[in-house]
Structure 1
Amino acid sequence: MRKWLIAIIISMIVCSSTTEVFGAEKKVDNEYDERMSLYKKMETITNIDWYVFAAVDQYERNIRHSRRDIPKADGLIEIYIRPEVWAGLLNPNPHDNNTVSIALFNGMGLDGNGDGRADQKNDEDILYTFANYLQSYGSNLDNIKIGLWNYYKRDKTVGLILGHMKIYKTYGRLNLDEHAFPMPLKFNFSYNNTWGDARGWGGRRIHEGTDIFANYGVPVRSTCYGIVEMKGWNRYGGWRVGIRDLNNNYHYFAHLNGFAKGLNIGQAVEPSQLIGAVGSSGYGPPGTAGKFPPHLHYGIYKDNGKTEWSFDPYPHLKAWERAERLKNRKK
């Protein structure tokens, strides 16, 4: 009787946990669907492609989550338009939602859902306002680039948004959250948490990544959906590849033995896609190799709209490895 009771309790716990997980996944999927519906609606109204809105929104979503000087969003759309820009610089009411007075003070805010108000917290009003701003420059890519630069005044921001646009256009969906361990799990490899350790070659500095030791030629794969932002030689990292993902993160793969055939800067890649092979290149002029055991140096850098910094990739690597092993066991 006691065994049956224990079994029932365990079953209830497992079912409860599973329901919570499925519920969370369903909520995320619903949010993607709702956001896509908003982007598509605005595409119909403005003739600006949906992935333009998706890219700007995703860039700003990550900026909001990584900085404290920008308030959290109230809705699904996280494009932030400063109150003084929305209402007008000389408007005594920075939270004005009256379309007449906003226009009088040359504010940017517009009514996007037809309720007669330009609400800074309404998703449709925000998207329509930003779409109208871009339309003032034109709807083709070159004009959109100009509009983005005049809005953000930062070349790197424009580059990140254009990269996001290409990813969304290539894969045609928003749910691109999958990740992969940078090497196929069937190969032998080992790694420890080495982020922050001292490094001496080329001057005193810290180790901005995790070293994954493996044999020469072991395949190296993209860990994410992203854009190849960098490919070539670096005197520290040797032959290296840099991939920018949809979270404004730069994934750095260094000391490679070579690159995957056909891999080019500006190319969209996906998790598990081959990008190169393990080597021991670096610490000198182009072609230098063999100054240390073969391994992959893997690092991640975060851009917050103002600056970029390194953070510890080890927990992410462990999580991706566990998830992939679990997935393989289920096959």
Structure 2
Amino acid sequence: MKKQLIIMLLLLLFIALPHASAAADKSAEDIYAERMSLYKKMETMTQIPWYWLAGVDAYEKGLRRARNDREEAKGVINIYYSPKEWSGPLNPNMEEDNPTAISMFDGVGLDGNENGKASLKEDADVLYTFANYLAEYGFDDNNIQLGLWEYYKRDQAINIITGHARIYRKYGTLDLDDHAFPVPLNYNYSYRSTWGDTRGWGGRRIHEGTDIFAGYRTPARATSYGVVELKGWNKYGGWRLGIRDLTNTYHYYGHLTSYEEGLEKGDIVAPGDTIGYVGSTGYGKPGTEGKFPPHLHYGMYRDNGYSEWSFDPYPSLKSWEKGERNSE
């Protein structure tokens, strides 16, 4: 009996392995195609524009990355529902996939692929459930934003998702993972890991970024696709700029001598776009400069749906620099 049980377990493992391998071996292009197909299908079913669904999904993917209370998505859709929320708070079966039973227990789960089940493990069901929720508020931008507010109860979440949706709508594709180094590689520059170093001006604090030393008016460039979220003076960072990318990451550019002409808050930028010029502004009232050598302070901040915190940008900078050199 024991021998038969071992054989059965090995057989089940052998059958399961190819499926796990196939999922892991999906190319980025295949994943983008599968996601887009789902977005477009749900747009047809609910009238919610695909780029809004893509914006929500990208935001939720960023939350999964930033939080330890959410596991990595098993499929290609990243929108998160807890089993209790999906099945119903009083449902004795947290793996319930019967739409009628889910409804009886006030769960949110719906059947999006018309197979008679509402499964939290099915991408189509998860995406349809969220799209159907938004459709209850309306199909235009303002009503979709109202629905998002009622769901997330956070202005910043609405701002980030709206930015994501605008980017996807502009470019019409999900394949927007390119990056660029913050300054052109043919300019003279130097940098090392300085995140976490102590700073004394303005009170004891840590350095929340990497300093890239370069000459005055060296172009500062967008490192990713994103939306200009902030522009103006800060007594620490001088003339600074903030860009939010599609992973919810906020990119901070400090000590600029000036901005690229015509660049405004709300503008969409692409990797390599010039957004300003290296300087030595900051550590004082508006216009203060020259208190330190010219350099670009580059910081990265992660959003978890509640707050933001800085993390070391140095590994990303080295990766982008290497990738750009290899593509020359």
TM-score (norm 1): 0.89
For residue 327 of structure 2, give the secondary structure of its aligned residue in structure 1. helix
For residue 100 of structure 1, give the secondary structure of its aligned residue in structure 2. helix
**Partner residue of 2:327?**
327
**Partner residue of 2:37?**
37
Which consecutive unaligned segments of at least 5 residues does structure 2 have? 1-23
Superposed, 1:1-331 pairs within 5 Å as 27-328=27-328
- State the identity %: 60
Q: Which stretch of structure 1 is more off in the superposition, 88-97 or 71-80? A: 88-97
Q: Which stretch of structure 1 is more off in the superposition, 232-241 or 53-62? A: 53-62
For residue 62 of structure 1, give the secondary structure of its aligned residue in structure 2. helix
**In the aligned structure 2, how far is the partner of 1:324 from the partner of 1:104?**
55
Please tell me the residue identity of whatever aligns with 1:169.
Answer: R
- In the TM superposition, residue 93 of structure 1 has moved relative to its aligned partner by 2.3
**In the aligned structure 1, how far is the partner of 2:35 from the partner of 2:111?**
18
**In the aligned structure 2, how far is the partner of 1:68 from the partner of 1:310?**
17
Please tell me the residue identity of whatever aligns with 1:59.
Answer: Y
**In the aligned structure 1, how far is the partner of 2:229 from the partner of 2:220?**
17
**In the aligned structure 1, how far is the partner of 2:215 from the partner of 2:154?**
41
Deviations 1:10-44 (A, max 9, x none): xxxxxxxxxxxxxx997111111111111011111
Which consecutive unaligned segments of at least 5 residues does structure 1 have? 1-23
Deviations 1:215-269 (A, max 9, x none): 1111111011001000010110000010000111100000001001111111110
**In the aligned structure 1, how far is the partner of 2:185 from the partner of 2:132?**
49
**In the aligned structure 1, how far is the partner of 2:28 from the partner of 2:222?**
24
The structure-2 alpha-carbon separation of the partners of 1:250 and 1:40, relative to structure 1 and needing over 3 Å to count, comes to same
**In the aligned structure 1, how far is the partner of 2:150 from the partner of 2:325?**
46
**In the aligned structure 2, how far is the partner of 1:196 from the partner of 1:252?**
15
- In the TM superposition, residue 105 of structure 1 has moved relative to its aligned partner by 2.3
**In the aligned structure 1, how far is the partner of 2:288 from the partner of 2:252?**
19
Deviations 1:188-227 (A, max 9, x none): 1111111111100000001111111111111111011001
For residue 174 of structure 1, give the secondary structure of its aligned residue in structure 2. coil
**In the aligned structure 2, how far is the partner of 1:301 from the partner of 1:251?**
7
**In the aligned structure 1, how far is the partner of 2:120 from the partner of 2:276?**
46
For residue 284 of structure 1, give the secondary structure of its aligned residue in structure 2. coil
Please tell me the residue identity of whatever aligns with 2:302.
Answer: K
**In the aligned structure 1, how far is the partner of 2:188 from the partner of 2:233?**
26
**In the aligned structure 2, how far is the partner of 1:43 from the partner of 1:117?**
20
For residue 227 of structure 1, give the secondary structure of its aligned residue in structure 2. strand
Q: For this pair of structures, how many residues does the alignment match?
A: 305
Please tell me the residue identity of whatever aligns with 2:270.
Answer: E
Superposed CA RMSD: 1.4
The structure-2 alpha-carbon separation of the partners of 1:251 and 1:25, relative to structure 1 and needing over 3 Å to count, comes to farther
TM-score (norm 2): 0.90
For residue 138 of structure 1, give the secondary structure of its aligned residue in structure 2. coil
**In the aligned structure 1, how far is the partner of 2:186 from the partner of 2:70?**
44
- In the TM superposition, residue 165 of structure 1 has moved relative to its aligned partner by 0.6
- In the TM superposition, residue 82 of structure 1 has moved relative to its aligned partner by 2.1
The structure-2 alpha-carbon separation of the partners of 1:321 and 1:74, relative to structure 1 and needing over 3 Å to count, comes to closer
For residue 61 of structure 1, give the secondary structure of its aligned residue in structure 2. helix
Please tell me the residue identity of whatever aligns with 2:300.
Answer: I
Find runs of 4+ consecutive structure 1 residues off by over 3 angstroms: none
Deviations 1:44-72 (A, max 9, x none): 11111111111111111121122221233
- In the TM superposition, residue 286 of structure 1 has moved relative to its aligned partner by 0.7
Deviations 1:119-164 (A, max 9, x none): 1110111111111100111111111111111111222112111111
Deviations 1:70-107 (A, max 9, x none): 23322111101122222222323232211112222222
**In the aligned structure 2, how far is the partner of 1:40 from the partner of 1:303?**
28
